[in-house]
Amino acid sequence: MEKILVTGGAGFIGSNFIYYMLNAHNDVSITCLDALTYAGSIHTLEPLIESGDPAFRFVKGDITDRDFVMKIFREETFDTVVNFAAESHVDRSIDTPEVFLKTNIIGTQVLLDAFNKYGIKRFHQVSTDEVYGDLPLEATDEFFTEETPLHTSSPYSASKASADLLVMAYARTYGTPVTISRCSNNYGPYQFPEKLIPLMISNVLNGKKVPVYGDGLNVRDWLYVEDHCRAIDLIIHKGAIGEVYNIGGHNERHNIDVVKTVLAALNESEDAIEYVTDRPGHDRRYAIDASKIEAALGWVPETPFDEGIARTVDWYLNNRSWWENIRSGNYQNDFARLFPDA
């Protein structure tokens, strides 16, 4: 039985990874460590908690709390750590950078120290393509590779780049067995409603306008979250120690085109679009070259964009209570409901 610690597992990608791993493998058990900050919803993991599945355990805690983290590592003999825990919303990082620096850098350092102390086999850091900065809109033949210099644009991306550098420094200084993945924009079930696609869906269903930054021509590479989870599974089991792997969806789209695709899937008029003032330092284009992971591990994205959008829209339509619970703020009471004795 492989024992995996997943930090940030009540968030969007982390929760999808937990469900994916438990469905894909009969020989894994997962401990989820999450602080349940504003972007983490225990309601997302409620089916697992209520099922009493012995292969899953939830622990509420902050990765920056050194004593608490050491206690978790001391109690469990983990084989693998997958670190999703991070503050990730760019706008919030512009308003409150310190929170991002503490969680994304100090939290990673605490995990690495505990990892080294207890001799675990693999530490995987989940990063982002935003550490590379951006590419010119017109340079359609340019892509981010694993060798692209780090060139950050926001406190969020700077904190993630710093964490990546720290992970690689631990590998070099202490021989820590690490891997890093840098993904493009994810979408799919359980994404927090402040992000572009779920924000659009929930706004339309609530009869509100859909905000689009600036001219809407910023380009992102979109990756369906299940494809991302499958890539991480491959990396932690077959990836080479000390390597960085880019994970991209081969789905470059202008933001405005993504908005129009979602509106069409909802049978909503484009009159719902409202252009708003652009965010400071807004990167123009992200584009991932994922040829390394494709060649080394045989991974390719399997979900075409239109299919992924259709599946995502259907999920939000069929799980309205999940995102309404978040938008109302009631989700912050879910932990006390599910763990009354905690």
**Angstrom distances, CA of residue 38 to CA of 8, 96, 285, 327:** 12, 14, 28, 11
247, HSE (Cβ side, Cα atoms, 13 Å): 32
- Tell me the C-alpha distance between 318 and 328, whole Å: 18
Q: Closest Cα to residue 250, out of 204, 309, 184, 196?
A: 184
Per-residue pLDDT tens over the stretch 38-64:
778 899 999 999 999 999 999 999 999
Q: Are 41 and 24 in contact (CB under 8 A)?
A: no
Q: Which of 210, 224, 247, 231 is nearest to 315 (CA)?
A: 224
Highest average pLDDT, of 227-241, 280-294, 325-339, comes from: 227-241
256 vs 333 pLDDT, higher one: 256
What DSSP element (H or E) covers 228?
helix 225-238
Q: List residues bridging with 179 in a β-sheet.
A: 124
329 or 27: which carries more pLDDT confidence?
Answer: 27
**What percentage of residues in the chain have a pLDDT greater than 90?**
82
The pLDDT value recorded for residue 194 is 83
In this prediction, residue 97 carries a pLDDT of: 86
pLDDT computed for residue 21 by the predictor: 98
Strand arrangement of the beta sheet that strand 244-247 belongs to: 56-60, 28-34, 2-7, 80-83, 122-128, 178-183, 244-247
Q: How far apart are CA 303 and CA 112, in angstroms?
A: 33
Count helices and strands in the chain by DSSP H and E runs: 14, 12
**Predicted pLDDT at 283:** 81
- Whole-angstrom distance, CA of residue 248 vs CA of residue 231: 10
d(CA 340, CA 249) in angstroms, rounded, equals: 41
Beta-carbon contacts of 327 under 8 Å, excluding residues fewer than 6 positions away, are 193, 202
At position 131, the amino acid (one-letter code) is: V
Give pLDDT, residue 74.
Answer: 96
Please, where are the H alpha helices in 52-129?
66-75, 90-95, 97-101, 107-117
> Which residues have C-beta within 8 Å of that of residue 157, sequence separation ≥ 6?
90, 128, 130, 131, 133
| Confidence (pLDDT) at 175 | 98
Question: What integer pLDDT is reported at residue 89 of this predicted model?
Answer: 64
Is the model's pLDDT at 92 over the cut of 80? no
pLDDT of 83 strictly over 80: yes
- Global pTM? 0.94
Predicted local distance difference test score (pLDDT) of residue 340: 83
Residues 3-20 pLDDT 10s: 999 999 999 999 999 999
- Give residue 38's pLDDT: 74
Instruction: Tell me which amino acid residue 209 is.
Output: K
First to last CA, the chain: 28
Confidence of residue 336 (pLDDT cuts 50, 70, 90): confident
Give the pair of three-digit tokens for residue 152: 């950050």
Question: What amino acid occupies position 171?
Answer: A
Strand segments (E) across 144-195:
178-183, 185-187
Query: Taking 80 as the threshold, does the pLDDT of residue 88 lie above it?
Result: no
Three-class secondary structure of residue 90 per DSSP: helix
- Give the mean model confidence (pLDDT) for residues 314-329: 93
Residue 341 clears pLDDT 80, i.e. is over it: no
* Per-residue pLDDT tens over the stretch 242-270: 999 999 998 999 999 999 999 999 999 99
Q: How confident is the model at residue 95 (pLDDT cuts 50, 70, 90)?
A: confident
214 in the Ramachandran plot: left (φ > 0), alpha (ψ -120 to 50) or beta? left
Q: How far apart are CA 239 and CA 177, in angstroms?
A: 11
Cite the active site residues.
Answer: 129-130, 156
Confidence of residue 207 (pLDDT cuts 50, 70, 90): very high
What Rg do the C-alpha atoms of the chain give, in angstroms?
A: 19
In this prediction, residue 191 has a pLDDT band, given cuts at 50, 70 and 90, of: very high
pLDDT in tens, 137-186: 888 889 999 999 999 988 899 999 999 999 999 999 999 999 999 999 99
